[in-house]
């Protein structure tokens, strides 16, 4: 009887483990199901640059400006993404950089764009910005509006394509997870507009789009929001790993 019960428990646990192992790819696929299928192609000798706010910066040493370097890449989703890209495309001689800066809104990206983006001459440029353009209107007295965000973002992308003809753009959707510290009902429906603008920018500028909000919403089927996010805005290690997997879905080699 004991052996039979142990075997039954083993089979049950193995089945649960198999479901869990399949769940993450399913989450990513479900989140992408209603999005456009455009992907950014990674070619040999490409320079890949991640730009954005604290979610992108996440522990990077801003005194270091080296490609494929632990300190320069930080310890968040950029590092997790880079490790897989560099492993999977080992023959492509890629250089990956991170120049995200905590607290940035679009206009602050623009202020440092020449040195932190254009000068690096990326072939693949991944941008995730927008949560501060909304969040800081309720916490820091920022007076920008949704139209400000849209106008600033469009100007930045036009400027980028003029300076870097042929650059492959990847636009990450800002996301928030409700009822985790900083995020509550008061965010909505206003914040949804910022997410929609990111989609608009991806469509207008021919960028690959990462539906991070949909990814996080789907992840709630596995674990509560506090498992994926520290404060409703910034990811936990599990959330950062999920972001990395979603980013990889937006590219092909």
Q: How far apart (Å, rounded) are the C-alpha atoms in residues 238 and 219?
A: 10
**Which residues, 6+ apart, have CB-to-CB distance to 107 below 8 Å?**
144, 148, 152
Residue 157: cis peptide before it, omega within 30 degrees of 0: no
Q: What is the pLDDT of residue 11?
A: 37
DSSP one-letter string for 185-248: GGGTTHHHHHHHHHHHHHHHTT-EEE-HHHHHHHHTTTS-HHHHBSSSSSB-HHHHHHHHHHHH
Q: How far apart (Å, rounded) are the C-alpha atoms in residues 153 and 160?
A: 10
pTM of the predicted model as reported, rounded to 2 decimal places: 0.91
CA angle in degrees (0–180, nearest 5) for 82-235-240: 25
Q: What is the pLDDT of residue 198?
A: 97
Q: What is the pLDDT of residue 35?
A: 81
Q: What is the pLDDT of residue 253?
A: 79
Given the structure tokens 């600033």, which residue do they identify? 152
Q: Quick one: tokens of 82?
A: 């880079």
Q: Which of 253, 174, 248, 176 is nearest to 24 (CA)?
A: 248
Q: Which of 151, 199, 191 is nearest to 175 (CA)?
A: 191
Q: Are 122 and 47 within 8 A, CB to CB?
A: yes
Q: Quick one: tokens of 156?
A: 């930045």
- Say whether 157 sits in a helix, a strand or coil: helix
Q: How far apart (Å, rounded) are the C-alpha atoms in residues 160 and 107?
A: 14
Strand partners, 252: 41
Q: What is the pLDDT of residue 6?
A: 45
- Measured in degrees and rounded to the nearest 5, phi and psi for residue 108 equal -80, -30
Strand partners, 40: 251
Give the sheet arrangement for strand 47-52, strand by strand.
95-98, 47-52, 124-128, 168-172, 208-210
Residue 206, Cβ neighbours under 10 Å: how many? 13
Q: How far apart (Å, rounded) are the C-alpha atoms in residues 241 and 114?
A: 30
Q: What is the pLDDT of residue 18?
A: 42
Domains of the chain: 2-252 (3.40.50.1110)
The pLDDT tens digits along the chain (253 residues) read: 444 444 454 334 433 344 445 588 899 999 999 887 799 999 999 999 999 999 999 999 999 999 999 999 999 999 999 999 999 999 999 999 999 999 999 999 999 999 999 999 999 999 999 999 999 999 999 999 999 999 999 999 999 999 999 999 999 999 999 999 999 999 999 999 999 999 999 999 999 999 999 999 999 999 999 999 999 999 999 999 999 999 999 999 7
């Amino acid at each position: 009887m004991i052996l039979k019960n142990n075997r039954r428990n083993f089979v049950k646990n193995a089945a649960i483990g198999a479901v869990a192992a399949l769940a993450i790819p399913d989450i990513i696929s479900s989140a992408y199901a209603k999005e456009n299928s455009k992907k950014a192609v990674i070619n040999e000798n490409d320079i890949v640059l991640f730009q954005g706010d604290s979610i992108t910066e996440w522990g990077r040493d801003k005194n270091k400006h080296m490609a494929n370097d632990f300190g320069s890449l930080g310890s968040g989703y950029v590092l997790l993404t880079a490790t897989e890209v560099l492993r999977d495309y080992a023959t492509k001689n890629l250089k990956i950089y991170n120049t995200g800066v905590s607290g940035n809104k679009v206009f602050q990206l623009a202020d440092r764009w020449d040195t932190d983006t254009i000068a690096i001459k990326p072939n693949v440029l991944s941008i995730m910005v927008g949560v501060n353009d909304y969040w800081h209107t309720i916490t820091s007295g920022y007076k920008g509006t949704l139209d400000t965000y849209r106008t600033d973002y469009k100007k930045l992308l036009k400027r980028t394509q003029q300076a870097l003809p042929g650059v492959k753009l990847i636009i990450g959707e800002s996301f928030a997870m409700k009822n985790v510290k900083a995020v509550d009902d008061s965010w909505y429906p206003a914040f949804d507009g910022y997410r929609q603008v990111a989609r608009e920018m991806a469509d207008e500028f021919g960028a690959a789009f990462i539906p991070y909000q949909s990814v996080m919403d789907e992840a709630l089927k596995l674990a509560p929001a506090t498992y994926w996010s520290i404060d409703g805005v910034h990811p936990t290690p599990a959330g950062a790993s999920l972001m990395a997997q979603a980013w990889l879905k937006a590219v092909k080699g």
